[in-house]
Structure 1
Amino acid sequence: MTDRSAVDTIRGYFYQFDHSILRVLQLSDPGASIAVECIEDVDIYTATEITAVQCKYYFATEYNHSVIKPAVRYMLSHFKAIRDEGKQVVRYSLCGHFNAGQHKLTLPIDVAFLKQHFLTFSERKVERRHHDELGLRDADLAEFLSVLDVDINAASFENQFAQVIRELQTAYGCTPFTAEYFYYNNALALMRELSIQPLPANRTITKRAFLERSDTSSVLFNEWFVRKKGEKAHFAALRKEYFTGLNLSPFERFFLVEVDPTTLVRSDLKDVLHLLSKKWSKTTKRDGKSSFCPYVYVHGLPADELVGLKKELATEGFGFIDGYDFHGADFNVKSIAKPATHDNGIKLKVLNSIVDLEATVGAVTKTREVYQFHLGKSYFEPANKAVKHVQIQLQKLTNIKAII
């Protein structure tokens, strides 16, 4: 597969996922549901009817009847099978986005056109008539057409995605950024999870459950989402939303950084600490009483590694405090909360534990902002809900530098 065709294939997957997300969001009844990869790409179940939807993204393809012919034949076979079994009638929806050629199909389709262009085909140079093989008469085909909807002017990749974001904004009452980076990110992961379940019952979800499971207070690292956005664009958007202009106000900012001790490279962690100090400290003489520097807590760092890290920082003349005034002293919030100034040379405030972090966030009185970077699950939640709390899941420590 060439690079171009690989990209088109991946966009095709995302197009189908987005279409499924859109369909569930557009359900008017929270108890109505969709099923993924059952009869068709997505099946819609309401109180009154079932609709089986096949949705394809043919960006590089000109429309020809042959492109959708197999899908129409499959739907007709399913139509006959459930009718013979006396099951509930299903509506069928076939929609696709094509590069060109839409003028070749005039709607509505009549029985003669259906038979000639969609049901008659050649196999090994032998003409076959699918409707005759199924034993269906013209009246049966007319009944099938009454439950078939064909749309070859479906929205483009970009327009459909924009519609998904608008629906998420409406559902959650949020900004476009939150709709995409919180809710769409999670909805995409959820849709993929549903699609790979082995049992049809586990590939079915109501609108109510979909909205609940897509709700989160954290930007999660979803490989599919990042692949769609592009890692560079993903990090740039997070930087613009959360880390642009932070140095303008003398707030108490807490940066929580999780590390994997099995893969940790100390120099990488030091780079992150230096960068945090450089970007979010103001300690020049002219800053006066408005001077400040960030607090940092490193989660998952072994005690001996923390001691080694602080020894290196001290040896290098990097000014920091940790709230312990002398050997054997208890942690003192007043000590670590002392202002960072040009005269005392404090560039960073290092919190040794979750307990110290909780005590400090709870005790300081200035405006507080917590920025938590986590590799897996969130590991901290401020007791005071008024404290701004941004949670961003990472794949690795060095991602932080690309974000901030």
Structure 2
Amino acid sequence: MSAEKGRWLLIPLGATVLLCLGTVYSWSIFRKPLEKLLNINAIESLLPFTVLLVLFAILMPITGFYINRFGTRVVTAVGGVIMGLGYILSGLDGNLQTLTFTYGVIAGTGVGIAYGVPLAVVAKWFPDKKGIAVGLAVIGFGLSPLITAPLAKSLIDTYGVRQTFVILGIAFTAIILLISTVLKTPPEEWKPTGWNPGVSVQGNTSTTTPGTMLQTPAFYGLWLCYTIGTFSGLAAIGISSPLAQEIIKLDAATAASTVSLFAVFNALGRLFFGWFTDRFGPKYGAIVSFTLVLIASIMMLKAGPGSVSTYLVAFSLFYFSFGGWLAIAPTTTLILFSQAEYAKNYGIVFTAYGAGALAGTLLAGRIRDIFGSYTVFFYPTTALAILGIVLAAFMLKRRFSGSTIAQA
């Protein structure tokens, strides 16, 4: 198969790797069983999830500096094995601290190592369709709960929560190792037939190193917006199932099924915002995303027992918007800064994901323990959505060229 055709196979393969890694987004399914098993509270059951997200965000940028040195296949395989080992060890008897180390630290390290590789591979194979290609690849991470949430719920009901970790760990390791053997970047001088980067409407073809990127206002605008986007999105993912049971009064099985529904919107958000950002620019992509968060937050402030429709619409918007940021951020990095340094540059941008994860999940759990309800959490998400709109309007730029930044 020619490279022109064969490159399209790398999108579903990369998406499958990310689907395995994205099981983290099904964490809310594990929380209630773990709270009962370990006799822990809401903020404690969020701790392994939070630690994983932080390790994920820390390791991803570091990995970006080593992909070229060790190769995409090796890095993917190592990440997959470490993540699988973390899941398997989480199935052993232990307390909250043990689970936080095995799931949060070990599995989080694996996710952080492997996550950026499929995106880097796809970005290099599709310089002519960067937004849609990256959006299609990263859709696997967002779509993961559609498959893994009901799978995890079924396994927990049948085998228990500990054995479920072991089963998932073995399966994910095998799948990622198999796919890692075919993930590779194109030859140095390769480019798509008929593509001329010199006439590209968007995108920066100059070399923008991480050091240069850190000197631009556009980077800080993107970083702050990304932090706000992940703050509300990851918190929503972490609390969706228990919130549905406690506030909306859904049973556990129905609450788990809603997580699968929301995964569809998470995935669609990546696809839509990848295209939208490529077409209309980062500023407008971010503004639309934050507007949806604002609407969802206001809706949830009025939700109560039986407000099923309100809950479904609001959390669909949360997931859609958050999924969008996993396409907005990498696509914006490609648009604002050089494609040649993408893995390193996006790794640094991705630290915003960790900042948002840490702040959002810890605050959501603390609010639940202090106020006895998750409802209060939607006041800060409302305020931050407004702040995000302002930041996007004044700080996010459309193009970067050398030392000059042009307003969109």
**Interval of TM-score (by shorter of Structure 1 and Structure 2):** under 0.3
Question: TM-score scaled to structure 2, two decimals?
Answer: 0.20
Question: TM-score scaled to structure 1, two decimals?
Answer: 0.20
| Pair member with larger Rg | 1
Higher helix share: 2
